[in-house]
Amino acid sequence: MAAELAAYPFTVQDAQTPSHTFYIHPNESPSTVLVSPSLSEGNYHNWARAMKMSLLTKNKLGFVDGSIAEPPQDHPVSPFWQRCNMLVLSWLIKSMSVEIAQSILWRDKAIDVWKELSERFSQADLFRISELQEEIFSLKQGDNSVSKFYTSMKILWDELDVLNPLPVCTCNPRCSCGAIKNIEDERNKNQVVRFLRGLNDQYSGVRSQLMLLDTLPNVNRVFALIAQQERQFAAENVSGSRALMASRENSNDNRGSSSDHSRNYHSNSGNSGGCSSSSSGNNRYTTKKCSYCGKMGHTIEDCYKKHGFPPGFKFKNPKYAGKSANLAHTTDEDQESTSQENASGQEATRFGFTADQYHHLLALLPAPETKSSTSQHGASVNSCAQVLPTKNGYQCLEDDWHS
């Protein structure tokens, strides 16, 4: 027994040193959760890797990998070992799902729990390996970014490497044939090919260039090149979008200046008498200039100052309103006179005489003087059987009985 106590490498003084593995810092609590997400049936390898990293930073990894053996029960350092063992066991339980934690709750040593979990979940299952290979071959970029697509594929590769690791040379001394290096290069080539084949068609150019190389770069280097190409595409798309928006704005401005010419013309007529001003804010997008009035915003074909203002045109300055009113009044009078002439012509031609013939006939009739003369004149007129036109006017033909 004394020999066993003397053979144990640690002493009480070591356990009281802050850098020793038996020392528990004040901030180390049994309720601390070291790893997230918790251990489940499908994430053991990721969880085990993260847990090893956390235990190593806490200087407690030896309690699960077997490098720190349990001291004899009567050894002075045994209480320190028990405290550290229970602390690591609590960290393991807090980082598991409820179902798995209940199944190992009654274990006394952290190393026993670690071995049991490894036996239960870390077996190189051929079915899981086949599933990973199918997922890798079927994974496509789709709507994801290059970074997100590469990350998803990298997770599958890492899990496959854990389940199906590369062989390790055990020769002593180590062999120099380079077989292990060739196997690593072959795996890197497979990863590069799968990554390039999963990209969208817009990367077909850079994909062809890379696959034509005699020696493929490292898969991480290939990802960096593709990410650079993605940023270039994004910059070109932004430039194209800006150019398209600028062209649309220019076309809208041209249509707006053409369709709103009368409104812009009206807004400037109050100051310039009917011609647009070059200082107008609405005409800053057009280069049209009238050769008649010299104003900007319209051409000579649309110049109101040359062709006249339309009826009902409203001016901001009242002194120009008479032009529109006179034009409208003149137009109304012309229309009215034209209507009267048309009515007179229709009234005259309705009886078979033109207007000149009708007035000439009225001139041949004598002016009425007395009642008797009127009756005689009527008898004379009634005695005419027919009126014939002659060189000197018209001739009344009398009946034989009247003569």
Tell me the average pLDDT across 281-296: 69
8 Å CB contact between 366 and 356: no
| Cα–Cα separations (whole angstroms), residue 126 to 122, 123, 131, 187, 231 | 12, 9, 9, 18, 40
The structure tokens listed for 244 are 């398209």
What pLDDT does 330 receive?
A: 46
Coil/strand/helix, residue 219: helix
Residue 238 has pLDDT above 80, yes or no: no
Residue 154: pLDDT band by 50, 70, 90 thresholds? Answer: very high
Residue tagged 């807004």 (tokens): 267
Instruction: State the Cα–Cα distance between residues 105 and 89, nearest whole angstrom.
Output: 9
8 Å CB contact between 379 and 388: no
8 Å CB contact between 58 and 117: no
**Using one digit for the tens of pLDDT, what is the confidence trace for 334-392?**
455 545 555 555 554 445 567 777 777 777 776 655 544 444 444 444 445 455 555 55
Peptide bond into 167 cis (omega under 30): no
Coil/strand/helix, residue 146: helix
What pLDDT does 116 receive?
A: 92
DSSP single-letter state for residue 276: -
The structure tokens listed for 322 are 């008479």
Instruction: State the Cα–Cα distance between residues 311 and 321, nearest whole angstrom.
Output: 11
> What long-range pairs does 361-365 form, CB within 8 A, spacing at least 24?
361/394, 364/393, 364/394
In this structure, of 70-84, 98-112, 180-194, 387-401, the range with the lowest mean pLDDT score is: 387-401
Q: Where are the domains of the chain?
A: 2-121, 124-163+181-259, 260-325
What pLDDT does 295 receive?
A: 82
What pLDDT does 361 receive?
A: 77
8 Å CB contact between 222 and 216: yes
Instruction: State the Cα–Cα distance between residues 252 and 234, nearest whole angstrom.
Output: 27
**Using one digit for the tens of pLDDT, what is the confidence trace for 12-48?**
888 888 888 999 988 899 999 999 899 988 788 889 9
Instruction: State the Cα–Cα distance between residues 283 and 111, nearest whole angstrom.
Output: 84
> What long-range pairs does 93-102 form, CB within 8 A, spacing at least 24?
94/30, 94/31, 94/32, 94/33, 94/34, 95/33, 95/34, 95/35, 95/36, 95/38, 95/39, 95/47, 95/51, 96/38, 96/39, 97/38, 97/39, 97/40, 100/39, 100/40
Q: What is the DSSP string of 87-139?
A: HHHHHHHHTB-HHHHHHSTT---HHHHHHHHHHHH----HHHHHHHHHHHHH-
What pLDDT does 371 receive?
A: 46
